[in-house]
Structure 1
Amino acid sequence: MSAGGTTFAAAAQGFVRDLEEDFVRVAATIARARSRGVQLLALPEAALGGYLSTLHGDGTDTDTPPQLDPDGPEIHRLAALAGDMVVTAGYCEAPDAASGGRPYNSAVAVTGDGVLGRHRKVHQPLNEHSSYAPGDRFAAFDTPVGRIGMLICYDKAFPEAARALAIDGATTVVCMSAWPASRTNRAPVLAEDRWARRFDLHDRARALENQIVWVSANQAGTFGDMHLVGSAKIVDPGGEVLDGTGSGPGLAVATVDVDAVVDAARRYMGHLRDRRPGSYGPEPATAGR
């Protein structure tokens, strides 16, 4: 840990189907982060192999991401590149016996010593369920830079997801996305698009309501029929953006004394401490209908 805290980086970057090209881009981003003293680097959702070409298909699209073994050579290669840095990245995980033949939209956290933690995307927007099986849990895990949790893209639209990680002891949450601009009535300036604004609002709200450090990576540029909004950022426990990339590609970097800022945020107004779960009650059977 560097003097004064942990240095985090979140990438806004595009990735493609060609894994060799993706690893060239990953290696360059890791080298750039290392030159800035970064200890945790968040790469976007689907950094290894690219995301879906569309969210409006029926699962018959032949332009699909390569399906990777969660313990296979690509994950080991990512770990070797990470070295002493914690690196998180998204990929398409090969089906298992429980997935009904569909792969998972997954993320992994690694160092040179191997895998630290995994996450399978739970919440699926639009027609993503046609291409991926859903995950079913949220769990924090320990790393050299503290206890963290991971989310993927649409997971962050559900307050319960980040809250589950905070309750499980995560003081930092990494959210990796391939979040696009709106498909209809897109704003002429990408940063002003309504989906770009929602992306930013979710990031700041999840950090503030859980009083945690939030590290948000996102794909940038275009892929298939999508224009990705970038906007990678580091957010403090008060919901303030410490550094961001804007709508273009780049690397957001900030150094945070995580324990100090989380303790300070929770000292008087402790959102986790002051919860009243017994007052919330069970979810009504008709909710969402």
Structure 2
Amino acid sequence: MAPIYKVALVQLHPKPLSPAQNYEKAASFIRDAAAKGCHLAVLPEYHLTSWVPDEPGFKDSCADSVIYLNRYQTLARELGVCIVPGTIIESDGDSLQNIAYFISSNGEIAGRYQKKNLWHPERRHLVSSAHEPHTAFDTPLGRVGLLICWDLAFPEAFRELIADGAQIICLPTFWSMHDVSDEGYALNPDGEALFLNNTVVARAFENTCAVVLVNAGGPPEKGEKTSFAGLSQVGVPHLGALGRLGRTEGMSIVDLDMNVLRVAEENYKVREDIDTSLSSIGAGLVSNNY
């Protein structure tokens, strides 16, 4: 029988340029999730520093990224829980990279991914992973892939990961309700919520996988008036969105039944068709070479 994994969606409201404070809050949520029997805890993009690249201290606030990665590894080992610590900004010379990690329950790093599809304002500050392929990796929860925020808009990224066997795709995000122009916002103030809610579920259906999207949330006292989009959720075929949060800080725990993914693949045969297509392409290349 397929396992059921408990997944904690930790929708933090990060305080700008305050990695120590943000880490402590994240660790508190993760400890609570582990106490509730969770197998995996996922945090948002930029959860240590928030996204304030034009602030004078932003780059300095990213300087201790390795220290916090090590702390998450120690925490995962201590609690026996897998952790995706959102994203961590790392320096490579004068360049900054936006990195997501999957830390296994034994504290070891099972997967690493540098954000490929940068949102337009990010391109002044970050370096993309460019043409590196999307690859899945083995974890205690099976085969997993990592994507980040705006990657959600690129179905080919998901296709690469499921072609490599991914069943769960974790997607830390930092998505605002005001990420579009004033003209776009005027068309529909809830347009970004519409984008997230529809696309997460669509990606789950079209890839017979679970999409674990965890976004930053707003401060609780602002309620739904916050500009943070929130809406962390697990998209699953047949069932839709599980455990969806509102727009403020909080945590949701989802029971992810892997049997649902089996049923979806037996019905839709997406992976089977991808394997057939790849085999046909390979055969064509061989015949053309001879």
- Quickly say closer, same or farther: Cα 1:186–1:67, change in 2 above 3 A: same
Q: Which has the higher helix share?
A: 2
- Map of 2:288 onto structure 1: none
Change (3 A) 1:104 1:35: same
Q: 1:257: how far off?
A: 2.7
The question of whether the paired residues in 2 share the 8 Å contact of 1:205 and 1:239 is answered with no
Match of 1:109 in 2: 102
- 1:59-108 deviation per Cα after TM superposition (whole angstroms, max 9, x unaligned): x65252533577x3221101112231110021101115xxxx31111111
Matching residue of 1:82? 76
Partner deviation per Cα, 1:13-51 (whole Å, 9 max, x = no partner)? 111311110111111110121122110111001122222
Please give the root-mean-square deviation of Cα atoms over the aligned residues, in Å.
2.5
Of 266-275 and 115-124, more deviation after overlay is shown by: 266-275
Q: Does 1:171 align with 2:170?
A: no
Contact kept in structure 1, 2:11 and 2:250, CA below 8 Å: yes
Q: CA deviation at 1:187?
A: 7.1
Taking structure 1 as reference, are residues 239 and 64 closer, same or farther at Cα in structure 2, changes over 3 Å only?
farther
Task: Please state whether the residue corresponding to 1:93 is helix, strand or coil.
Answer: strand
Contact 1:235 1:243 in 2 (8 A): no
Per-residue CA deviations over 1:105-139 (Å, capped at 9, x if unaligned) read 11111134221111110001122111000013311
SS of the counterpart of 1:227?
coil
Match of 1:21 in 2: 21
- 1:227 offset after TM fit, Å? 2.4
Q: Give yes or no for contact 2:146–2:171 (8 Å, CA) kept in 1.
A: yes
SS at match of 2:199: helix
8 Å Cα contact 2:12-2:26 kept in structure 1: no
After the TM superposition, which of the residue ranges 115-124 and 248-257 deviates more from structure 2? 248-257
CA 1:92–1:262 in structure 2 vs 1: closer, same or farther (change >3 Å)? Answer: same
Q: Give the corresponding residue for 1:210.
A: 207
After the TM superposition, which of the residue ranges 132-141 and 203-212 deviates more from structure 2?
132-141
Q: Which residue of 2 aligns with 1:92?
A: 89
Give the aligned residue type for 2:83: V
1:1-289 to 2 correspondences below 5 Å:
5-16=4-15, 17-52=17-52, 61-65=55-59, 66-68=61-63, 72-83=66-77, 84-89=80-85, 90-95=87-92, 101-111=94-104, 112-135=106-129, 136-182=132-178, 183=180, 184=182, 193-221=190-218, 227-238=227-238, 240-258=240-258, 260-275=259-274, 276=277
CA distance in structure 2 between the partners assigned to 1:266 and 1:145 by the alignment: 18
Q: Secondary structure at the match of 1:230?
A: coil
Larger deviation, residues 171-180 vs 114-123: 114-123
Q: Which runs of 5+ in 1 are unaligned?
A: 54-59, 280-289
TM-superposed CA distance for 1:145, in Å, is 1.3
Cα offset, 1:52, TM superposition: 3.1
> Counterpart in 2 of 1:286?
none
The TM-score, its normalising length taken from structure 1, stands at 0.82
1:9, 1:215 within 8 Å by CA — same for their partners in 2? no
Task: Call closer, same or farther: CA 1:144–1:4 in 2, change over 3 Å.
Answer: closer
Q: Could you say which structure has the larger radius of gyration?
A: 2
Aligned 8 A contact 1:176 1:218 in 2: yes
SS at match of 2:273: coil
Aligned to 1:57: none
Percent identical across equivalent pairs? 25
- Partner secondary structure for residue 229 of structure 1: coil
Letter in 1 for 2:70: H
- Tell me how far apart the structure 2 counterparts of residues 272 and 239 of structure 1 sit (CA, whole Å): 19
Aligned to 2:286: none
Cα distance in 1 between the residues matched to 2:118 and 2:246: 25
Distance in 2 separating the partners of 1:181 and 1:231: 11
> 5+ unaligned residues in a row in structure 2: which ranges?
220-225, 282-290
Q: Secondary structure at the match of 2:270?
A: coil
CA contact (8 A) 1:211 1:238 kept: no
Given the superposition, is the C-alpha separation of residues 69 and 21 from structure 1 closer, same or farther in structure 2, using an over 3 Å criterion? closer
Residues 1:94 and 1:49: Cα distance change in structure 2 (over 3 Å): same
Q: How many residues are aligned here? A: 260
Aligned in 2, Cα 1:95/1:69: closer, same or farther, shift over 3 Å? farther
